Structure 1
């Protein structure tokens, strides 16, 4: 099962290919699916940032690489504990400005990688 391509990105809006509910503000993607990333589920804020709980669902889908979009202006941080969690799971992590993150994610999708992503589409 391949990861779905992110087909469009603009401030506050992302679309994922081939998914019935494909329009998101922030989203999580993995081989075979995607869903909205609701920060309220884990109490995430820009600081201290992405927590292990924010990425566990994507990692559990068997990804080898996780791309994190840190926002259009890179306002979203990633906690050290999240990076440690990913390394412990043997997952390669790339934290990039969201436009660059989506481009890298789509590049990996195109190469058939088992890639997942968590993307913040605003600040």
Structure 2
């Protein structure tokens, strides 16, 4: 494991060990702010233009990432809104897209990774 420009890099795609309101454990490391997980590691302290809204501008740099699926965790209670443009943009790139409350998103992410899929996860940990 290594750290490179605030990105936690693990051997292979990391699994999520645990999630509860405001706390996520990935590969044994705890995070208490929103995160993005890519096939090469974790990008901590993820924030959006508007805290409880995911817009195309928030994800543009991830659109070209080589993944099979995108999992968006909308928060413990599902309060984060996801613009339809976000979902449509990833689908146009040939990606499966799952928008779920974060607890269910964690389960879906782990299921897909366990099946050998390359997954981009964007997880809001509170609300």
Q: Which category of TM-score, normalised to the shorter sequence, fits these structures?
A: 0.7 to 0.9
Query: Where in structure 1 do 4 or more consecutive aligned residues deviate above 6 Å?
Result: none
TM-score by length of 2: 0.81
Distance 1:85 1:59 in 2: 8
Contact 2:33 2:46 in 1 (8 A): no
TM-score by length of 1: 0.84
Q: Which residue does the alignment assign to 2:39?
A: 31
Distance 2:78 2:108 in 1: 16
Q: Does 1:8 align with 2:8?
A: no
Distance 1:98 1:61 in 2: 21
Shift of 1:96: 0.6
Q: Which residue does the alignment assign to 2:91?
A: 87
Which of 93, 102, 123 is the matching residue for 1:119?
123
Would you tell me which structure has more strand in proportion to its own residues?
2
Structure 2: give runs of 5+ residues left out of the alignment: 1-10
Contact 2:68 2:118 in 1 (8 A): yes
Q: Which residue does the alignment assign to 1:109?
A: 113
Contact 1:66 1:93 in 2 (8 A): yes
- RMSD value, Cα: 1.9
Shift of 1:4: 1.0
Q: What is the CA deviation profile of residues 59-108 of structure 1, one whole-angstrom value per residue up to 9, with x for unaligned ones? A: 43311100000111010010011112112211110001100000010011
